[in-house]
Structure formats: C-alpha cells, structure tokens
Homo-oligomer: A and B are copies of this chain.
Amino acid sequence: MTGSHTPTETESQVASRLAGQPIDFNSMAVVSNLFRAANAVRNHLERTVLAQHNLSWTAFVVLWVAWVWQESETRCVAEESGISKATLTGVLKTLEKLGFTTRRRSEKDGRLVIVGLTAEGNALMQRLIPEFNKHESELAAVIPTGQRDEMADHLRAVTTYALASDQ
C-alpha cells in the first residue's frame, strides 16, 4: 500500500485489479515495457552523455538528423525527429543560441527554411556519436546477440503500424 513497489509486484497487482475482465495481458506487457525501457534509457543517456554538453534529448535528436543530412528542410527535420513543427522552432532557437545550427531561407521556395550545422555542431557530433554508440552497445548487450536484429525489426513494425494508423 505504501512505499515503492517492484515491477513484479506491480504486474501482479494489475492482474488482480483486472481479474475477470477480457484483457490482453501479453500485449499490455509489450506496450508498457516499451515505454518503461524508452523512458529509462532516455533518462540514463541524458544524464551520462548529454547533460555535460547542455543538450536535451530532443536537441540531440535534432542535431543528429541535421548531422546526417547536413542540409535539410525544417518540415523534414521535424518529421524525422518525431516532433511537431512548433516544437522544432523552439529547439532550433536553443541550438542556434548554442552555436550548433544555422537557419536560412530557401531561394527556390520562399516558404522553406533550410537547417544546417555549424563547424562547432559538426565537431560536437564527431565526439558525441562514438560516445553515444558505446552506451548503445552496453544497453543492447543485455539482449542475446542473435535476437537484436529481430528486436529492431519488431520495433520498426510497431512504428510503421502506429504511424499508418494516423494516416
């Protein structure tokens, strides 16, 4: 009733609270653990890797997308970062203030804004990417070697389905 509960305690409490109802517990476990994992990993990487560079998780993702393509339209960066256009405007304001990204109008289409990386932004990613990948390796190491590709495939399939459901 009081104090902290272990995941196992919580799951059995959930089962007893939902006893008798037609609930798909397997699917519930997959989805809820998807969020638990994403949340835990995100907080972990934010504290260990990103905090010392004054980067939020989203700022890093945006920086990553910008680094991958070097020059990219705003709407494309937002979509690939998984955030809304409105959010991207704010994040780019932060990244620009930190001196990592640039913004310029497209000559061909006056509506578009092209996002680019500064030399500092490229240098930062040059150091950050290997460090980040080292942590990714440690995290994925808890999954048996032969099942990592399968895991990534399943996650891709879930993403595709969720995005398709939003049309």
Residue of B68, B73, B143, B165 near A158 (CB, 8 A) is B143
| Chain B CB within 8 A of A52 CB | no
By a CB distance below 8 angstroms, the chain B residues around A156 are 7, 33, 36-37
Query: Who on chain B is nearest to A152 by CB?
Result: B29
Copies of this chain held together in the complex: 2
Cross-chain contact B47 with A1 (CB below 8 angstroms): no
25 A-B residue pairs with CB within 8 Å: A1-B71, A4-B80, A10-B68, A21-B129, A27-B136, A27-B139, A27-B140, A30-B139, A30-B148, A30-B152, A31-B136, A31-B139, A34-B37, A34-B155, A35-B38, A36-B155, A36-B156, A37-B156, A40-B82, A139-B161, A139-B162, A142-B154, A143-B158, A147-B150, A151-B151
Chain A residues near B (Cβ < 8 Å): 1-5, 7, 10, 13-14, 17-18, 21-24, 26-31, 33-44, 47-48, 61, 67-69, 71-73, 75-76, 79-80, 82, 129-130, 133, 136-143, 147-152, 154-163, 165-166
